[in-house]
A and B are shown apart, each in its own frame.
Chain A
Amino acid sequence: MKSVSLLLVLGLSIAAVASSCGGNPAPQNTTPAIDTAAENQRVRDSIAAAQAEAERQAAAERDRLEQQRIADSLAALSRSGDEVRSMLGAMIHFDYDRSNIRSDDMGVLDQKVAIMQANPDLRIRVGGHCDERGSDEYNLALGNRRAQAAKQYLVSHGVDANRIETQSWGEERPLVDGHDESAWSQNRRSEFEVIGGGENLRRP
């Protein structure tokens, strides 16, 4: 990550220098015509001065824009880390008393596969959770099934099993308080938590 951003900064700086040296001549590069008439000289000088001033302002503006772009791209870089992190943390959900992966959650898991492959040091823990409707103790077994189901999906798509821990919380850690289907459906979930190698996440 660090080397990437350094390279990026370097590249952008070179680009900035190159553009300031191109096309329009910079004021210090114009050769004053000393051997012509004073009036012409004065006019030319004033034109040149105006041009130089304009050039200087334009250069300053370009410089400011370049700095802005560098800052923006650095921010974007860290935003992409956040984005990867949020993709990685996206939960998947389950039907009541079920532990099979829903088809609408497969894309969410596919993103995690790609992220795990782009970040070989990354290690995660999958936590399986249940709603309050089932039996308290049975839900520990069901939560375990839900965590294992997510892990199995990732492993079957090429992620090393040793990089994924699992844990069941049963119904002990609801995400949403409430006693209706809206709350229950959000609480029947697997959560994904980074437990190692999550400092500089690369985009897949």
Chain B
Amino acid sequence: MNNSKATENARYYRAYVSSYNTNIIQLKTPWVPAWWSAAFPGMGHLMHGAYTKGFVLFIWELVINVNSKINLSMVYSFTGQFDLAKEVINTRWVLLYIPVYIISIWDSYRKTVDINKLYVLASEEKAPIVPFNLTAMGLNFLDRRQPRLALLWSILMPGMGHLYLKRIPTGFFLLLVWIVCTYFSNILTGLHLTLLGNFSEATNVLDIQWALFLPSLYGFALYDAYTLAVEYNKLYKTEQAEYLKREYQLYDLKINNL
């Protein structure tokens, strides 16, 4: 069954299973996507599978932040070196940052509120969920996955938990951004020197600007993979329960026979 055909007469539907991705609408507390957008613009949109906005905002954040040196200035501000904080900020770029940053947070919040309403409508409409998709380029199917395993793979390498869940766009995008930020921040050299106990040298080799992207990337990869595994499990069970009720409730059980 093709997903587009199965849902063409539906007004709202709950899931789209393609060979690249399982996209779903899900209930979320609005502050959660808003918070992730504050940590890294675009993340709140990626959580909802809104990839166009998500990817563009993500790349926007990298370009504008790196050029205006916002992360660097943040570190100087936190550590009380206010003169340096003022000095490093690039005034040619920095004012471009603020409006889009705020809109990405606001838009994540607003979008979540809307999606929560659509979730209620779609759950009521019960349009068919297509559990399986095999195309020339890949195979995807609904399944039960271990949330803890998704978390573990993400801990080992951000994006891998998403690949386990067949969330391919998020998975490979996070992997790419992680590699870029790891490379430019020089964190692995820093880690090496830290493990050898050479703390001052480890601090010196780090690129502050790029290193500050890493915590939010890591946190998001873990959190999103875990919650998606939970949501996909729910979707699997919903689809199967509907199938069983449709196909295997023809039997007329007469208890008084017993």
Decide if A and B are genuine partners.
Answer: no
Interface residues of A (CB under 8 A from B): none
Interface residues of B (CB under 8 A from A): none
